[in-house]
Amino acid sequence: MKLHEVLDVLESVASLSHAEPWDNVGLIVGDRSQNVSRVMLTIDYTSAVAIEAREARCELVIAYHPPIFEAIKKLTAGGSHDLVFDAIRRGVAIYSPHTALDIAEGGTNDVLADLLEMRDRRPLKFNAGKATLCKLVTFVPADAVERVSAALFDVGAGHIGKYSSCSFRSDGTGTFLGEEGTNPTVGEPGKMTRTPETRIETIIAIDLIEAAVAALKKSHPYEEPAFDLGHLHAMPQGLGIGRIGQIPEGATAEMLINKLKRDLEIDHVLVAGDIDRPVRRAAICAGSCGELLNEAIRERVDLYVTGELRHHDALKAVQAGVTVLAVLHSNSERIVLKSLKTKLEKQLSALQVFLSKSDRDPFRIC
């Protein structure tokens, strides 16, 4: 099959549009039209994983963490991105879902929440949708209101759902003082002018702003029309990072810690706080999620599970009465690869999918 067929399935599992804006997700290297029959799943694309993928004759590696995060100026053999250069040379594609998979329903954080049997769950922090609209505000003399409004509507302003030509109008008084050399429509240069005006508010798609401003200036009677543009925050889409919810009655922190150790197949974890406490409400966030600790504290959780946490964040949690569990960064993420393997095999029966055996967290507790 073609690589783009696999990418379509990956996109359906975890839409790249939902990834964090700082992230570098999607096809990192590769040709969408190349043939793919064998794929390897890993958290990190290390030299050991690259050798393993080569021996398994995989044409595609799905590396949860992108091997390239920031822009690079050189890509050479023996350079800092030698593994990526080698993949390109051998025709191996690399795809990274990262935070798109974390945020997705059924993704990394939901898999972790499933291990805790978390109920009534929701994201620990909701993501705002991508802003696509602006509010356009302008001020127009009464006899030009309809002309200016029509010009804006003609270029696509004022659409809300199935309604068009939407605006709000309010009357007021405009003031201006034209300097020497101006030619005001109302009043005279050098004299303070007060004139009745109507404030017109409407919305416009961000990609239509240039056309809207041009239409405004062309239709407006003033030599220098005043207008404001403001980005509108998109409504949250019910998606977000981390998960928070209720834990079945009778669970203690120690019981949940032992369960996670078994399910994640790890021998040691880092714990701060009371492990004997009952846990009725918990929050989880795969990876490095110290920045969400404040949300967990505000939500009055009993247990917060993540991959890694700073020393002072652990102290803050304990002071707030929250037990925190850090299982190491990639240990909190690797469990999702099994779920992703199942989804790929179900939708692409012709594709052979392998879980890397050499992929592991770089840290170990001795």
Integer Cα distance of 102 and 125 in angstroms: 12
CATH number of 108-126+241-326: 3.40.1390.30
Half-sphere exposure of residue 55, counting CA atoms within 13 Å on the CB side?
9
Going across the sheet that includes 281-288, the strands are 119-122, 243-246, 281-288, 303-308, 323-326, 270-272
The one-letter code for the residue type at 19 is: A
Structure tokens at 307: 């991959």
Integer Cα distance of 233 and 248 in angstroms: 37
End-to-end CA distance of the chain: 44
Indicate the pTM of the whole model: 0.76
* Residue/partner pairs of 252-259 with CB below 8 Å, 24 or more apart: 252/276, 252/277, 252/278, 252/279, 253/277, 253/279, 253/302, 253/303, 253/323, 253/325, 256/116, 256/282, 256/303, 256/305, 256/325, 257/325, 259/115, 259/116
Query: Domain 3-103+335-355: what homologous superfamily?
Result: NIF3 (NGG1p interacting factor 3)-like (3.40.1390.30)
**Domain 133-231 in this protein, CATH class:** alpha beta
How many C-beta neighbours within 10 Å does residue 212 have? 26
The 8-class DSSP code of residue 252 comes to B
Q: In tens digits, what is the pLDDT along the chain, a chain of 366 residues?
A: 999 999 999 999 999 988 998 999 999 999 999 999 999 999 999 999 999 999 999 999 999 999 998 888 888 888 888 899 999 999 999 999 999 999 999 999 999 999 999 999 999 998 766 667 899 999 999 999 999 999 999 999 999 988 999 999 999 999 988 888 888 888 888 888 899 999 999 999 999 999 999 999 999 999 899 999 998 876 556 789 999 999 999 999 999 999 999 999 999 999 999 999 999 999 999 999 999 999 999 999 999 999 999 999 999 999 999 999 999 999 999 999 999 999 999 999 999 999 999 999 999 888
